[in-house]
Amino acid sequence: MDRNPEDITISTLKITDITKVKDLYESGSDSLKEKMLGAWPLTSRSGMIHLVLSTTPLRFFLLFEIKSFIAKKGKEILGFGYIIRKKHKHENVLGMFIREDVQGKGIGNQLLTALLKDEDNVILNVDTTNSNAIRLYEKTGFQKEGTILVMSLKRGK
């Protein structure tokens, strides 16, 4: 696969794609999920509800909308990207992931280009060790604004 694969299509997420996208995310390595810093629409009940509703006419009643796209080769989903539009905060938060075995092939660039169309104010969080994603975001025009310190407490097992 070359850097700009012509056989990749980028399309708006449909309600019928959601289970496949969730399965794609779940099948990813723990390392990929860590680098993604979670994918709220896919990892929480309220996120899934919003994601489903954002593919229907009911999206107009939500406090925020999820603009989402998938990258496909044929019928196979290779990546997912979204922008959560927080209407009350005028804030747009981007997240995306590409299946590990097809990363570095230009798919992320195509997906990011589709997501950013008609957007002028978008933020994202990226793991500081995810150098490929950082390079892609900087190439697209994103600028570093700080570093988020993640802390966790794990008790028991």
CATH of the domain at 52: 3.40.630.30
The list of the chain residues with pLDDT below 50 reads: 1-2
pLDDT on residue 157: 65
| Domains in the chain, number | 1
- pTM for the full model? 0.80
pLDDT on residue 11: 94
| Residue 42 in domain | yes
| Residue 148 in domain | no
| Residue 107 in domain | yes
pLDDT on residue 4: 52
| Residue 115 in domain | yes
Is 37:93 a contact under the CB 8 Å cutoff?
A: no
pLDDT on residue 46: 73
Q: Let me know the angle formed at the C-alpha of 43 by 17 and 31, rounded to the nearest 5 degrees.
A: 100
Which residues span the domain enclosing 60? 8-140
pLDDT on residue 155: 86
Closest CA to 42 of 85, 81, 90: 81
| Residue 56 in domain | yes
| Residue 27 in domain | yes
